[in-house]
Amino acid sequence: MSFAVAKKIAPLFDRVLIQRVKAAERTASGLFIPEKAQETLNEGLVVAAGPGAADKNGNLQPLAVKVGDRVLLPPYGGSTVKFGGEEFLLYTDKDILARLTE
């Protein structure tokens, strides 16, 4: 995961920049899984986050996630951003389904 490239992108308001976690390229026994057979995971890592959005009274509402959090993403949505040869997803804070804990 490249935080160096992501530091050049600063999300605004309640937007969160996420890099999708890559699927396993090998089985437990060491066999390579072809790229077409790899499943797309709905898990990602927060690499940048905006400051939050203002509510109707003008108070800044902080985000529910922070940089470094592993999150659960919806199967559709988000805006794809390609920067520095890498692909990121841009979601609003409320579109993220859950924060994953270890």
- What is the C-alpha separation between 92 and 12, in angstroms, rounded? 10
CA angle 25, 29, 31 (to 5 degrees): 45
Query: Taking the CA of residue 73 as centre, how many other CA atoms within 13 Å lie in the half-sphere pointing to its CB?
Result: 25
**Token pair for 42:** 């709905």
Q: Residue 34's pLDDT is what?
A: 62
Answer whether 91's CB lies under 8 Å from 80's CB.
no
- Give me the residues paired with residue 99 across strands: 71
Give the tokens for residue 69: 């959090």
This prediction's pTM: 0.75
Q: How much is the pLDDT for 55?
A: 85
Domains and CATH numbers, the chain: 3-100 (2.30.33.40)
Give the model's pLDDT for residue 1: 45
Question: 71 is written with which tokens?
Answer: 């999150």
Listed in sequence order, the residues at least 6 apart from 42 whose beta carbon sits closer than 8 Å to its beta carbon are 72, 73, 74, 75
pLDDT in tens, the chain (102 residues): 456 666 678 888 889 999 887 766 665 666 665 655 555 668 889 999 888 888 888 888 888 899 889 999 988 888 888 887 888 989 998 889 888 887
What are the Cα distances from residue 34, in Å, to 31, 40, 68? 10, 13, 29
